[in-house]
Amino acid sequence: MIALTSPLLWYTARASGIVSLLLLTAVMALGVMTATRVGGRPMPRFAVAEVHRRIALMTMIFLVLHILTTVLDTYVHIGLLAALIPFTSAYKTVWVAFGSVAFDLLLAVTIASLLKQRISHAAWRAIHWLSYVSFPIAIIHVLMIGTDTRFPWMLLLVAGCVGTLFLAIAWRLWAHPRPDGALTAVPRRKGRPGTTATASTQHAPRGRKIASSGQTRKPR
């Protein structure tokens, strides 16, 4: 019982919860940027999507660590059932339930992502939108039950997380993505509307055939 009430569990639970919040913020922001097809030479679009997936996995790992250390710490009794099923905790029932709901939503998103090749895109997209619901629920959970919120640095950290997501959403609204997810965030080269100039047409020597138009320019 001494090990189950050691300060190590308590500090691990607090630290893993804070790290989970930071990672979740990064996942949300990258998810918004991925939706606008953000990417370029410094970081290709597929790399942005890959980083998004890897950070999402890390988020779930730290969330599981946060839950396990909270359950194992007997200083405050929160059973495993209460951590997974909302409104079954005797300790701060409502605020623990917010954490349970946030985890359950993220778990559903993770499972849907793993089964992406086996389910329809519409179903995957609908489930994926649950992550946007989980973020404000997680913020409420942190503010109402987190013991570190009595410190100004923790409040600033939470405010920074919320501000980061708002900036990402503002970027998405400013980029005006098309309904089909086409890129508008990255500027296009000058040319005909709806087209992108290619290297072959920009640097075609005089007197040679231009593939895009099928015409031949005569040398002057």
pLDDT at 146: 86
Does 194 lie in the same domain as 106?
no
| Furthest C-alpha separation in the chain | 92
Q: Which residue do the tokens 């990417």 mark?
A: 39
Domain count, the chain: 2
Structural domain contains residue 122: yes
Any domain includes 111 = yes
Q: Indicate whether 167 and 197 sit together in one domain.
A: no
Is residue 47 one of the residues assigned to a domain? yes
Domain span at 135:
3-175
- Res. 17: pLDDT tops 50: yes
Is residue 44 one of the residues assigned to a domain? yes
**Banded model confidence at residue 25, pLDDT cuts 50, 70, 90:** very high
80-to-4, 65, 72, 100, 188 alpha-carbon distances in Å? 14, 12, 9, 10, 52
Whether 193 and 161 share a structural domain? no
In a domain, 183, yes or no: no
Q: 46 with 154, same domain?
A: yes
pTM above 0.85, yes or no: no
HSE (side-chain half, CA atoms, 13 Å) at 157: 19
- Give yes or no for residue 198 having a pLDDT over 80: no
Domain co-membership, 136 together with 206: no
User: Which CA distances in Å does 219 have to 157, 200, 215?
Assistant: 64, 18, 13
Q: Does residue 182 sit within a domain?
A: no
Using alpha carbons, select from 209, 211, 149 the residue that is nearest to residue 219: 209
- Establish if 181 belongs to a structural domain: no
pLDDT band at 154 (very low <50, low <70, confident <90, very high): very high
Same domain, 213 and 126: no
| pLDDT per residue as tens digits for the range 104-148 | 999 999 999 888 888 888 888 888 888 889 999 999 999 999 889
What does 88-136 look like in DSSP terms, one character per residue?
A: --SSSHHHHHHHHHHHHHHHHHHHHHHTTTTS-HHHHHHHHTHHHHHHH
For residues 115 and 34, membership in a common domain is answered with yes
Same domain, 121 and 35: yes
